[in-house]
Amino acid sequence: MEHIPSWLSSAFIYLGAAVIAVPLSKYLGLGAIIGYLGAGIAIGPWGLGLVTNVENILHFAEFGVVLMLFLVGLELEPRRLWSLRRPIFGGGGAQLLGCALAIGGVALAFDVRWQIALVAALGLALSSTAIALQALQERNLLRTGSGQAGLSILLFQDMAAIPILALLPLLGDASASDAALAPMHPALKAIKIIAIIGTIILGGRLLVRPLLRWIARSKTPEIFTAAALLLVVGIATLMQATGMSMALGAFLAGVLLAESEYRRELETDLEPFKGLLLGLFFVAVGMGIDFGVLRQSPWLMAAILGGFLLLKLLVIYVLAHLMRLPLQERPVFTVLLAQGGEFAFVVFQAAAGARVLPPDTASLLTGAVALSMLLSPLLLVLIDKWLLPRWAERNGPQLEEISEQQDAPVLIAGFGRYGQMVARLMFAHGVRCTLLDHDAEMIEAARAFGYPVFYGDATRLDLLRLSGAATARVLVVAVDEPEQSLKIVDLVREHFPQLQIVARVRDVTHWYQLRDRGVTRLEREVFESSLRSGRTVLELLGHTPEAARQAATRFRRHNLDLLEQMYPHHKDRAKLIAVAKQGRQQLEEQMARERELQQASHRPPDES
């Protein structure tokens, strides 16, 4: 046994603990995160003592959070991120400032020194990015109003980490601080940050995509995976070098690659690493809970833990009300942001090093944060199993998922304005349909009109099976979000290849993505209605109804033909633009000739 390398024995311990604890936790209905945290407690210094070097493991496991933010960034195109600028700075600033003021005010009321109160308030106001985003993804809430608001606030917290750390040496004992703690000049710090961010943006635009294209041509999957990991590690290194959040840098890189043709490949390659390292991060957090401090000062620890959680719950719930989040989403949103965050460990450790916090105070605060991260998933379980069902009973009809096998020939995923028209036409012709949607308010309204809509997420394989996907003849993909539409199509192509797909298309990019998946029965959601509006405009300008109809018909035929011509080049932007410009010019010239011929046919003959 003495010849076994330490890394091998440690890997065996981590994997063994996770393999035992996580399935057991999920079997008990507690979720995967509780399983990982419990595994860490069991093998850590205060459990079986199988692992003692917690700090090194935590630093390595933080890379799981970095990978998670990179993959979240891949789901957000730059224009969508720009649309979140107000929630990021408005909601994020309000959350951090409101929670810090509440916690700091209570601390000052108990005669805590103002420097300690300020650092404790700023550190405890932060939330766990890892747990919050993982829980939102598990519940498929990341694209909901509360999910986008939560993501915005977490991004602001990552950005706020820079000034918080820069503030610490200024609050410390100047006589005790040494050169190592001397902060960089603010101007130099700003220049360095701008340079690093500029490098990431320019590199993502000019270097990364050609590099990935070149690597992809080698047709060596493992090298492409290595390149994806190298990209994230390199960005994390750059951000760490300037004292910024590694996760924030990885998120920014993901946003820059969100429009890349290699987005899906990057997601597929990095997802397994993200899951394993994120699990290791939760294990490390469980191992890092100092039960010795809890044993020495149990009532003080309980007061700190309960006090900051209660204050954050109140502030964040008020914020959720002001942001007008749906009532049924507010409890999860509030609990996810009320817990302490992993970056608080860094803040309190740095504050202790700068002599702002006494060592025992730093240990108490760190322990309170770790315990809050342990309690948060437990509170979510209580919300899921106790609060939300009772809330649904009191505030509206119970939204039941499909519990019995369905056998209708048509399955419609998404019952918004698009899916409703398809369903009404089917019902009018006596065709049975199974209707799915996950918008609670819309389902309640649809049931009031007599439509038997089931509550559920069509990206779930088990729900598709119960919906009758294995025996249905046609699936209508009518969901709003293109990403969710693509996930449904991928799932159906893999598990129900016999099912014919008719898909709603948001835009041309979405059309290309569906065509890549072999879907040919596609309808752009505003195409036909836009043509009819164009016909009306021509008639109002003096054209006859017949001439307007013929013009719209010719344009429709030309547009569909042009889309087919552009499709083979949709991954080559320069060629795509050239084909589009050429097609538009040809249409304009053709219609100009037709107008000239029409005018000539109505011109009176010369009287010479």
Query: Which sequence spans correspond to the domains of the chain?
Result: 55-174+182-391, 410-601
Both tokens of 151, joined, read: 């993501």
**147 touches 136 (CB < 8 A):** yes
- The residue that leads in pLDDT, 131 or 394, is 131
For the cut 60, the answer to whether the pLDDT of residue 400 exceeds it is: no
Architecture field, domain 410-601: 3-Layer(aba) Sandwich (3.40)
For the cut 80, the answer to whether the pLDDT of residue 189 exceeds it is: no
Q: What is the pLDDT of residue 481?
A: 82
Cα(327)–Cα(316) distance, integer angstroms: 13
Chain centroid offset of residue 122 CA: 25
Q: Tell me whether the CATH fold assigned to 55-174+182-391 matches the one assigned to 410-601.
A: no
Q: What is the pLDDT of residue 175?
A: 42
- Residue 427 DSSP one-character state: H
Distances (CA, A) of 564 to 228, 339, 523: 32, 51, 14
Distances (CA, A) of 252 to 77, 245, 336: 10, 11, 23
Among 486, 437, 481, 482, residue whose Cα is nearest residue 458: 437
For the cut 50, the answer to whether the pLDDT of residue 464 exceeds it is: yes
Both tokens of 605, joined, read: 């003959």
**CB-based burial of residue 276 (10 Å sphere; 0-12 exposed, 13-18 middle, 19+ buried)?**
middle
According to DSSP, the residues that pair with 521 across neighbouring strands are 502
Among 288, 298, 303, residue whose Cα is nearest residue 344: 288
**422 touches 476 (CB < 8 A):** yes
The band of 402, judged by pLDDT with boundaries at 50, 70 and 90, is low
Distances (CA, A) of 570 to 255, 346, 361, 505: 20, 45, 59, 16
Q: In whole numbers, what is the pLDDT of the chain averaged over residues?
A: 79
For the cut 50, the answer to whether the pLDDT of residue 414 exceeds it is: yes
**459 touches 438 (CB < 8 A):** no
The band of 97, judged by pLDDT with boundaries at 50, 70 and 90, is very high
User: CATH top-level class for 55-174+182-391?
Assistant: mainly alpha
Give the pairing of strands 500-505 and 474-477. parallel
Both tokens of 68, joined, read: 């998670």
According to DSSP, the residues that pair with 454 across neighbouring strands are 436
Q: What is the pLDDT of residue 311?
A: 93
Among 66, 64, 63, 60, residue whose Cα is nearest residue 10: 60
Cα(204)–Cα(191) distance, integer angstroms: 20
